[in-house]
């Protein structure tokens, strides 16, 4: 990591980049408000031999010891990444309230859910067209038809869409509607897929694998970042533990720890962790108060008839009250729910 002086000129930055690349290392420029940091990825010895500390504009050269380089908080010099998704900011003091059905089931269902979450003040809407199901015999999502219905919901409500991509062959179709591509927990270590979404340059919501450590999650994010895509949100969605009283164990400690280790926004999914509606609100409030940069929750107009994850989906008519209480909890951590009108 080459930290430039606060007054370093563009020409000085360019000349350092050229020198670093001349020895076969790759560079990533991170332009902070105060200083520019150049990440050099390659053979440490080759880069060290350049003795960059003597170069004009260079303040200091610091090795990043963590295995994840671009995801580490060190590279951003303490600054946090703030994403802009269709005019809505996520990260810093902007809290993302992401809500919508587990899966797109029908036109009526997705439109009703989308209207309810828009009216309740959601930041983004969610909805799966391609579903990672444990059983190959279970409903796998509406696929392209689901994407078409999501496009309609987006058109009507103006809410940007988060939807899952499971197979790079569906990338083109998904990119037509998605404002954020979700990489599900089961694909967290699908490195080919991560590199593809990295190259696509679209915002990514990367979910933590069911049994993945935080370091593994950060290494997975590194696959996206290394392709030049800086728009990554990390998502804690519950992990496997010995406890069986609920679906997964929501690892709330991951929130402050990820924020210590990385500059990337941290989103929490209480729905999949809980597996039961009654637990979704307390976990959401806890996540918001603990400093999460957003939550992603499942909302359905009629959860009892949902094709999947019915027991954990919040009824659409309860969303507005829920959103108000989450807003108060987020305020405890100094955050404001990001909506289109927010500045
Ligand atoms: C989902 O969000 O629809 C989902 C399947 O979540 P996860 O990948 O976390 O299980
Ligand atoms: Mn679900």
Domains of the chain by residue range: 2-63, 83-337
Q: Determine the residue of 135, 184, 248, 250 to mutate for testing ligand 1's pocket, defined as the one with the most ligand atoms within 8 A of the Cβ atom.
A: 184
Question: 218, 247 in Cβ contact below 8 A?
Answer: no
Please tell me whether residue 183 adopts helix, strand or coil conformation.
strand
Q: What's the pTM value of the predicted model, to 2 decimals?
A: 0.95
CB within 8 Å of 11: residues ≥ 6 apart: none
Domain 2-63 in this protein, CATH class: alpha beta
Helix and strand element counts for the chain (H, E): 11, 16
Q: Residue 199: what pLDDT? A: 98
13-17, 44-48, 52-56: lowest mean pLDDT where?
Answer: 44-48
Question: 181, 205 in Cβ contact below 8 A?
Answer: yes
Q: Is the pLDDT of residue 125 over 90?
A: yes
132 lines ligand 1 (CB under 6 A): yes
Q: What does each C-alpha distance from 48 to 14, 40, 53, 61, 137 come to in angstroms?
A: 18, 10, 9, 9, 55
Give the number of the ligand closest to the Cα of residue 280.
2
208 lines ligand 1 (CB under 6 A): no
Q: Is the pLDDT of residue 80 over 80?
A: yes
Q: 83-337, what's its fold?
A: TIM Barrel (3.20.20)
Q: Averaging pLDDT over each range in 48-62, 75-89, 190-204, which range is the top one?
A: 190-204
CB atoms within 10 A of CB 141: 25
Q: Is the pLDDT of residue 44 over 70?
A: yes
Distance 161 CA to ligand 2 centre (A): 15
Alpha helices in 158-276 (DSSP H): 171-177, 191-200, 214-225, 254-261, 270-274
Task: Kindly state the average pLDDT of the residues 74-94.
Answer: 94
Protein residue with least CA distance to atom 10, ligand 1: 185
Pick 32 or 291 by higher pLDDT: 291
Q: What does each C-alpha distance from 218 to 18, 254, 261, 264 come to in angstroms?
A: 28, 12, 9, 10
Q: Residue 23: what pLDDT? A: 93
Output helix, strand, coil percentages for the chain, rounded to the nearest 5: 40, 20, 40
pLDDT in tens, 209-224: 999 999 999 999 999 9
Please tell me whether residue 178 adopts helix, strand or coil conformation.
coil
Q: Which percentage of the chain shows pLDDT scores above 70?
A: 99
Q: Is the pLDDT of residue 95 over 90?
A: yes
Please tell me whether residue 16 adopts helix, strand or coil conformation.
helix
Task: Kindly state the average pLDDT of the residues 232-236.
Answer: 99
Q: Is the pLDDT of residue 8 over 60?
A: yes
Question: How many CA within 13 A on the CB side of residue 207?
Answer: 28
The string of DSSP codes covering 136-162 is TTS----THHHHHHHHHHHHHH---EE
For ligand 1, what atom is nearest to the CA of residue 296?
Answer: 2
**In which band, very low, low, confident or very high, does the pLDDT at 302 lie, cut at 50, 70 and 90?**
very high
Residues with CB under 5 A from ligand 2 (ion): 102, 309
Task: Kindly state the average pLDDT of the residues 257-271.
Answer: 98
Q: Is the pLDDT of residue 13 over 50?
A: yes
301 lines ligand 1 (CB under 6 A): no
* Residue 335, token pair as written in the block: 């955050």
Q: Is the pLDDT of residue 105 over 90?
A: yes
Task: Kindly state the average pLDDT of the residues 69-79.
Answer: 91
Distance 50 CA to ligand 2 centre (A): 51
* Residue 73, token pair as written in the block: 């908080």
**In which band, very low, low, confident or very high, does the pLDDT at 343 lie, cut at 50, 70 and 90?**
very low
Distance 233 CA to ligand 1 centre (A): 15
């Amino acid at each position: 990591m080459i930290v430039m002086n606060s007054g370093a000129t563009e020409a000085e930055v360019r000349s350092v980049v050229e020198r670093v690349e001349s020895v076969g290392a790759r560079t990533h420029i991170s332009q902070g408000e105060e200083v520019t940091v150049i990440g050099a990825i390659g053979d440490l010895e080759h880069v060290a031999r350049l003795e960059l500390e003597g170069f004009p504009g260079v303040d200091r050269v610091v090795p990043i010891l963590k295995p994840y380089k671009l995801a580490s908080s060190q590279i951003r010099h303490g600054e946090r990444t703030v994403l802009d998704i269709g005019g809505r900011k996520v990260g810093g003091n902007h809290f993302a309230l992401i809500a919508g059905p587990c899966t797109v089931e029908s036109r009526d269902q997705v439109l009703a859910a989308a209207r309810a979450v828009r009216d309740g003040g959601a930041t983004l809407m969610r909805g799966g067209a391609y579903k990672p199901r444990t059983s190959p015999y279970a409903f796998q999502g509406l696929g392209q038809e689901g994407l078409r219905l999501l496009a309609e919901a987006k058109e009507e409500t103006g809410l940007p869409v988060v939807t899952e991509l499971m197979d790079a062959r569906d990338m083109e179709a998904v990119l037509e509607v998605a404002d954020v591509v979700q990489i599900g927990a089961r694909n967290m270590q699908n490195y080919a897929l991560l590199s593809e979404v990295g190259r696509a340059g679209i915002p990514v919501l990367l979910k933590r694998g069911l049994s993945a450590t935080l370091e593994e999650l950060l290494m997975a994010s590194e696959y996206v970042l290394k392709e030049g895509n800086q728009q990554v949100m990390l998502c804690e969605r519950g992990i496997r533990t010995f406890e069986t009283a609920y679906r997964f164990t929501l690892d709330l400690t991951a929130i402050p720890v990820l924020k210590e280790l990385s500059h990337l926004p941290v989103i929490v999914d209480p729905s999949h962790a809980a597996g039961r509606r009654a637990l979704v609100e307390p976990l959401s409030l806890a996540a918001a108060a603990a400093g999460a940069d957003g939550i992603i929750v499942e909302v359905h107009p009629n959860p009892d008839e949902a094709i999947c994850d019915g027991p954990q989906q919040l009824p659409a008519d309860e969303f507005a009250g829920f959103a108000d209480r989450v807003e108060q909890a987020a305020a405890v951590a100094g955050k404001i729910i990001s909506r289109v009108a927010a500045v």
